[in-house]
Amino acid sequence: MVNRLSTVPRLFPPIPAASARLPFHTLTQTPLPGLDAQWSRLVTAKTPDGPRGFHVLDTADALADRGITPTGTILAVHGNPTWSYMWRSVLAASVELARPGHAWRVIAPDQLDMGFSERLEHLEAPSVHADGYRRLEDRLGDLDGLMDALEIDIEAPLVTLGHDWGGIISLAWATRHREAVDAVVSLNTAVDQPAGEPVPPALRAAMAPGVLPSSTVLTDAFLKVTLSLPEGGLDPDVRAAYRAPYVSRLGRGGIGGFVADIPALAQHTSRTVLDETSEALRSWQKPALLLWGPKDPVFRDRYLADLLQRLPHADLHRFEGAGHLLIEERDIAAPLFLWLEDTFNPEASDRRALASPPPAAPIARLHDALEELTISWRRTAPAAVDMTAEQGDRTLTWGQLREQVDALAVGLHELGVRRGDRVSLLVQPGNTLTVILYACLRLGAVVVVADAGLGLRGMTRAVRSAWPDWIIGAVPGLTVARTFGWPGRRISVDALSTRQARALHVEASVTRLLRRHAGALLQQVPAPEPDDAAAILFTSGSTGPAKGVVYTHARLGALVALLKETFDVKPGASLIAGFAPFALLGPAIGATSVTPDMSVTKPSTLTAAAVAEAALAGGATMFFGSPAALRNVVATAADLSAEQTKALRKIRLVLSAGAPVHPRLLDEVQEIFPAAELHTPYGMTEGLLQADIDREGIHQAMRTGQPGVCVGQPVPGVRFAVAPLDETGRPAEELAEPTDVPGVLGELVVSAAHLKAGYDRLWFTDRLAARDTDQGLLWHRTGDVGHIDDAGRLWIQGRLQHVITSPEGPLGPGVIETPVDALPEVARSAAVGVGPVGTQAVVSIIEPEPGLRLRYGSSPLASPDFAARVRAATEIPVAAVLVVDELPTDIRHNSKIDRTRLAQWAQTVLAGERSGAP
Amino acid sequence: MSTEILPGSKVLVTGASGLLGRSVAQRLVDTGYEVTTFQRRPSGVSGARDVRGSLTDPADVARAVKGQDAIVHFAAKVSVSGRRDEFERVNIGGTELLFDEAWLADVEHVLHVSSPSVAHAGESLIAAEAGPADPLHAEGHYAQTKAEAEQIAQARASAGTKVLIIRPHLVWGPGDGQLTARIVQRARSGRLPLLGTGAALVDTLYIDNAVDAFAAGLRRLPMIAGQRLVLTNGEPRPIGELLAGIAQAGGAKPPRLRVPPSLAKGAGLAIEKLWELTGPHEDEPPMTKFLAEQLSTAHWFDQRTTRQALNWQPAVSIDEGLRRLAQHIRRTGRVL
């Protein structure tokens, strides 16, 4: 397309000047959905080159009509090629949310030569040097004039809001008027285009000198491309509204002018102002909020990283999956006004005083155990045993581990890794990972763990969202990083050949750093503070994109203290690490960590023999595994030799974490580990250990016949509350004490010292998850639904979005699943709702015991006789019983049933449409 | 003015020769209402005064509505064959006439019986609400003319008559010669193969529940006039399972579900073919096309408004209904 356009003769028919207009007067055929005519007005402002007419959206009159005096002003500046119409949701929300004493007046001007503001005369085509086009400096002058003309209350808070080129203008204006502006908010934008770096290809095409006039003014190509960016397309009426001021060539002079004003080159006219702004932002101390759509072909994540580096205190919400026209893809008004409320309403600042309950035991630093053991007589005892390594290299003593951690910490520090830098680890579990992890923690570098269970796409999304400064990886991980363009400077695990290192952009290796800095002293490396971030772990992403969960050193320290306390970890303890998050904490809890020979991405491949060999090699007393791993251990138990069988008798504690375990499986596990206590702790990425129960406890609980899976009692230091569900399945805003609502279905809410510090770069999610303030505590909404019984036991029935909202009220899936699972024909079952919220029909989906045929012919329906048995098993009316060969489960643990997917499938099948397996 | 239409009131039931009309009239008699029935044949309702006549004859209608407190209007032409003008004459003209005469005779309350098909045309209905009647898009003469009839009822409601519209969906049970008897008959002779998955969720209504609900609707009419309510058991079931259940109640084996690969694309089409293949057209239930749609796509409704308005809950579940049907057939040897 670009080539064809460039052959258009270089003729530029002049564009005449035209005065500002009111859209509602001008447009007869184009509706402007979402825009209120009352907001629309014309203003004449004194600009640097004389009085000019602006079209402005302004909620002043709408607020006055409601008898409300604004207590602050938001100045919203659009970009190119949009107009003030883009801010309509913010204007609407400002009027809707306004109340006496708290009301924002929103002013959203159309920039000169844009929207319905005055058109300038253009005698020549837009270009870097063409006269008659507005430059960045002119636009700032325009805003000065406008703000004078609009008579803003200077005493009240003033907040700027911008998008795209309007982001730059609004930030530049704010930094020039930093005494008047109290906070800045920006959507996708960029304040720096490093002179050496290429302009994003998406923009380069439109900016090429020969093409620019054609793509922006003579045709509406640039406009069309921008409006086509939102996923799923814009509503046709909205799209038409965006296009309305730019339908004619005569209206598009400003679009070309803006593109020509992009200071890609160091000698560009607007470069000075841009550089001034990007520097001035570094000293911006007042509040800042960034709302970002990462799927933007122009303002990509690297510009976000640049902004964050200049505004490290900024709150950020990165809307995964949204793009350049974020405001058309997501509700940004809700986070914006909540943030303003928090920032400018003094009552809201109480939030920062929220506390966590005291930890179960005194918090230790993550290196304390390592340091203590190094100077104890256990110095030569094994600290880490790696069954994936060659025989001779398997064991590190406490002394060796400490030496390597120190050496690497010094090495990394010398390389430039600093406290607060983010380091993504793409290394398989084993001794090397342990050394790297503890070196990073010691440095105060923030470890980013996006596990392979997310899949490559999910990992890429996760890494881009965390935007690591460094990647430390083995060759396979570094290759993936290169292929998918992950950010961060690269460090390899093994020393690479020069050629390979260059190909993978690797600048150092762990091996060489260890060798070079062996015996180095740590004194020169400052240690992190308790409230510094220590790690970012990603959620499984089973309910939307994976979220980064931030832990501080203090919060991980509280978890370490809790693990020691709950599982009675004594010196000399040794654990087989079949489940990553806990296993990585081995050195911190002072236990030997034994990495069994297994593929980390496939926990279901762990064999009984591999566990036994690990137990023999590391003198193991504990085994941490996932349900999938346990299933395979049971399945392969017959292959154990006599010696191996004996080794497993020495295991005193078996933990199964990550997902519920069927008691039948636990009984089978017990036979393999006859001396062990079997525990299934309950937790989540946001709080790894919250409740615990052992095998006997589960059997006892199940005899009470309550719905769901019993996960036991809260562990020490953990407080639970319940947010009961309403008819539509929504959890109450007020929390209830468990003892006040025994057996009541609700969202479980938790508070503990070892909970997450927050979600990474998801300000709004984080704020909503932590919105409760009961008893002055910081709570976390788990998203899990269930109940707490009168004995104080927690029962989980699934996720909030798995709740079935029948006309009789909300139902947890467990109410149907628990009795149906008890039928002998059923291996496992899932209950889902089909139909709209509040009037859903209940569907039971069965995975039969192997070899059983329960279907009705070749239909997904259960045979009428079996369906009748399912209906008889539960008191809840079941609309349909469906049969599948295998219920879909999550990738990470391979054991959580994907009810969301099943519900979609059931809806299709029961609508009478054809559908394959779920 | 009373807030309810209580026993002792005078009620005209039109179309009381059909199963539902007759059963409702009988219930009203049994609970103490003074019931008049109006249709061409004797109603068979014991204790009711039969007025025989035609819904299209002004004199007949005037005679029937005279002195009534309320009317329950079941009478309609329910058939798939026949000329369009036949439907128009009875369903539209008759309804208009009835409302006119009721107005002249100062009858204040009308319970107008309609059908969910007046608002829908073949699309999947998933927890659907009672949408407005849509004669332009309703399918077939029956649904189209009933849609217009509903619009007349609605117009009269705004002119002052208190009108409640109830749309029962797929009534079945002992005595039902339309759906129930035919399924049993075909299943017994092995002529009820089911093509497709049979998984479409369909709402039905057990006859006894329908009678309870209509009685409640009449009683509460002054309080809930102006509403239109779809009426079902509120227990959607896969159509294959429902047919199997009715077949089994009739002592027949459940129909075999078959999914010929050649039909893998459109289950709806397959079901329509089934009804064409399984017998001569005249013998078919009057709503073949309607039923064909019922069998191939989801048809179930949000019952919350209905239950709240009627202050009623179905007393007989589908499973209990099937047991009662089986008992009835065992005892009498037939559905009717």
CA–CA separation, A120 and A114 (whole Å): 10
Q: Is residue B249 part of a domain?
A: no
The CA R_g of chain A, rounded to the nearest whole Å, is 31
Which residues of A are less than 8 Å from B239 in CB distance? Answer: 912
Q: What is the mean pLDDT of residues A728-735?
A: 94
Q: Give residue B268's pLDDT.
A: 41
Under the banding of pLDDT at 50, 70 and 90, the label for residue A712 is very high
Tell me if A879 and B265 make a contact (CB, 8 A cut-off).
no
B312 interface with A at CB cutoff 8 Å: no
- Determine which of A854, A855, A866, A910 to mutate to test the interface with B (most B C-beta atoms within 10 Å): A910
Which pair of tokens denotes residue A107? 């002013």
Which residues of A are less than 8 Å from B256 in CB distance? Answer: 857
Q: What's the gap in Å between the CA of A804 and the closest CA on chain B?
A: 14
Residues 265-284 of B with CB under 8 A from A: 265, 267-268
Q: Give residue A637's pLDDT.
A: 95
CA–CA separation, A307 and A313 (whole Å): 11
Domain A359-553 part of CATH 3.40.50.980? yes
Bridge partners, A355 (sequence order): A777
Which residues of A are less than 8 Å from B307 in CB distance? Answer: 807
CA–CA separation, A560 and B73 (whole Å): 75
Tell me if A879 and B236 make a contact (CB, 8 A cut-off).
yes
Instruction: Give me the amino acid identity at B223.
Output: M
Cβ pair A755, A686 in contact under 8 A:
yes
CA–CA separation, A17 and A25 (whole Å): 19
SS3 state of residue B68: coil
- Helices and strands (DSSP H and E) totals, chain B: 12, 15
Q: Which of A790, A726, A723 is nearest to A751 (CA)?
A: A723
Which residues of B are less than 8 Å from A873 in CB distance? Answer: none
Q: Which of B112, B116, B301 is nearest to B218 (CA)?
A: B112
Tell me if A912 and B197 make a contact (CB, 8 A cut-off).
yes
Q: What is the pLDDT of residues B126-169, one digit of tens each?
A: 989 999 999 988 888 888 999 999 999 999 888 889 999 999 99
Provide the greatest CA pair distance for chain A: 95
Nearest CA in chain B to A843: B237
Q: Rounded to whole angstroms, what are the CA distances from B172 to A831, B143, B239?
A: 29, 19, 13
* β-strands A50-58, A104-109 pairing: antiparallel
Instruction: Give me the amino acid identity at A246.
Output: Y
Nearest CA in chain B to A807: B304
Number of domains in chain B: 1
List, by residue number, the catalytic residues of B: 142
* β-strands A687-692, A682-684 pairing: antiparallel
Give the lowest-confidence range in A462-471, A905-914, B319-328. A905-914
CA–CA separation, A769 and A750 (whole Å): 11
Which residues of B are less than 8 Å from A871 in CB distance? Answer: 319
Q: Give residue B285's pLDDT.
A: 39
Q: Give residue A207's pLDDT.
A: 79
Which pair of tokens denotes residue A500? 């390979």
- Determine which of B126, B183, B322 to mutate to test the interface with A (most A C-beta atoms within 10 Å): B126
Which pair of tokens denotes residue A503? 């190909």
For residue B155, give its domain range: 10-169+205-233+301-314
Q: What is the mean pLDDT of residues A818-826?
A: 92
Q: Rounded to whole angstroms, what are the CA distances from B71 to A122, B1, B111?
A: 77, 17, 6
Nearest CA in chain A to B259: A858
The pLDDT of residue B287 is above 50:
no
Instruction: Give me the amino acid identity at A813.
Output: P
CA atoms within 13 A on the CB side of A772: 25
Q: Is residue B67 part of a domain?
A: yes
Q: What is the pLDDT of residues A109-128, one digit of tens each?
A: 999 999 999 999 999 999 88
pTM as predicted: 0.84
Q: Give residue A572's pLDDT.
A: 87
Q: Is residue B308 part of a domain?
A: yes
Under the banding of pLDDT at 50, 70 and 90, the label for residue A455 is confident
CA–CA separation, B80 and B143 (whole Å): 10
Cβ pair A300, A307 in contact under 8 A:
no
User: What is the rounded (10 degree) CA torsion for B78, B80, B84, B90?
Assistant: -10
CA–CA separation, A685 and A537 (whole Å): 7
Cβ pair A294, A320 in contact under 8 A:
yes
Q: What is the pLDDT of residues A597-630, one digit of tens each?
A: 987 667 778 999 999 999 999 999 999 988 888 9
What's the CATH code of the domain at B55?
3.40.50.720
Cβ pair A549, A760 in contact under 8 A:
yes
Which pair of tokens denotes residue A769? 């998850």
Q: Rounded to whole angstroms, what are the CA distances from B153 to A759, B52, B228?
A: 58, 23, 11
Q: Rounded to whole angstroms, what are the CA distances from A318 to A82, A112, A143, A590, A624?
A: 22, 30, 28, 38, 35
Q: Which are the contacts of A377, defined by CB distance < 8 A and separation ≥ 6?
A: none
Which residues of B are less than 8 Å from A836 in CB distance? Answer: 126-127, 302
Q: Is residue B25 part of a domain?
A: yes
Q: Give residue A180's pLDDT.
A: 94
CA–CA separation, A263 and A487 (whole Å): 24
Q: What is the mean pLDDT of residues A883-890?
A: 89
Q: Rounded to whole angstroms, what are the CA distances from B184 to A365, B140, B246, B327?
A: 76, 26, 7, 14
Q: What's the gap in Å between the CA of A910 and the closest CA on chain B?
A: 4
* B197 → closest Cβ in A860, A868, A871: A860
Q: Give residue A915's pLDDT.
A: 76
Under the banding of pLDDT at 50, 70 and 90, the label for residue A201 is confident
Cβ pair A388, A599 in contact under 8 A:
no
* B199 → closest Cβ in A835, A877, A912: A912
Q: In what order do the strands lie in the sheet with B237-238?
A: B125-128, B299-301, B201-202, B237-238
Q: Is residue B61 part of a domain?
A: yes
Q: Is residue B330 part of a domain?
A: no
Q: Please give the class, per CATH, of domain A2-343.
A: alpha beta
Cβ pair B111, B33 in contact under 8 A:
no
B305 interface with A at CB cutoff 8 Å: no
Task: Give me the CATH code for the A708-801 domain, please.
Answer: 2.30.38.10
The string of DSSP codes covering A748-814 is EEEE-TTS-SEETTBHHHHHHHT---GGGB--EEEEEEEEE-TTS-EEEEEEGGG-EEETTEEE-TH
What is the ipTM score, two decimals? Answer: 0.87
Between chain A and chain B, the number of residue pairs with CB atoms below 8 A apart is 104
CA–CA separation, B243 and B240 (whole Å): 5
CA–CA separation, A369 and A590 (whole Å): 5
The pLDDT of residue B272 is above 60:
no
The pLDDT of residue A422 is above 60:
yes
Tell me if A857 and B257 make a contact (CB, 8 A cut-off).
yes
Tell me if B199 and A807 make a contact (CB, 8 A cut-off).
no
CA–CA separation, A16 and B116 (whole Å): 61
* B235 → closest Cβ in A868, A879, A914: A879
**Kind and range of the H or E run holding A830:** strand A826-834
* β-strands B125-128, B205-206 pairing: unpaired
* β-strands B162-168, B10-14 pairing: unpaired
CA–CA separation, B74 and B95 (whole Å): 10
Q: Give residue A878's pLDDT.
A: 96
Surface-to-core class of residue A667, CB atoms within 10 Å of its CB (0-12 exposed, 13-18 middle, 19+ buried): middle
The string of DSSP codes covering A159-205 is EEEE-THHHHHHHHHHHHTTTT--EEEESS--S---TTSPPPHHHHH
B316 interface with A at CB cutoff 8 Å: no
Q: What's the gap in Å between the CA of A384 and the closest CA on chain B?
A: 56
Q: Give residue B275's pLDDT.
A: 41
Q: Give residue A894's pLDDT.
A: 59
Q: Is residue B27 part of a domain?
A: yes
Which residues of B are less than 8 Å from A914 in CB distance? Answer: 197, 264-265, 267
Q: What's the gap in Å between the CA of B291 and the closest CA on chain A?
A: 14
Q: Give residue A349's pLDDT.
A: 53
Nearest CA in chain A to B199: A910
Which pair of tokens denotes residue A28? 């007869």
B236 interface with A at CB cutoff 8 Å: yes
| Cβ neighbours around A1 below 10 Å, total | 12
Q: What is the pLDDT of residues B63-115, one digit of tens each?
A: 999 999 999 999 998 876 678 898 999 999 999 999 999 999 999 999 999 99
The pLDDT of residue B32 is above 90:
yes
Q: What is the mean pLDDT of residues A784-792?
A: 95
Structural fold of domain A803-918: GMP Synthetase; Chain A, domain 3 (3.30.300)
Which residues of B are less than 8 Å from A868 in CB distance? Answer: 319
CA–CA separation, A724 and A824 (whole Å): 33
For residue A13, cis peptide bond before it (omega within 30 degrees of 0): no
Under the phi-then-psi rule, with left for phi > 0, alpha for psi from -120 to 50, and beta for the rest, what region is A689?
Answer: beta
Q: Is residue B156 part of a domain?
A: yes
Under the banding of pLDDT at 50, 70 and 90, the label for residue B259 is low
Residues 195-234 of B with CB under 8 A from A: 196-201, 234
Q: Give residue A178's pLDDT.
A: 94
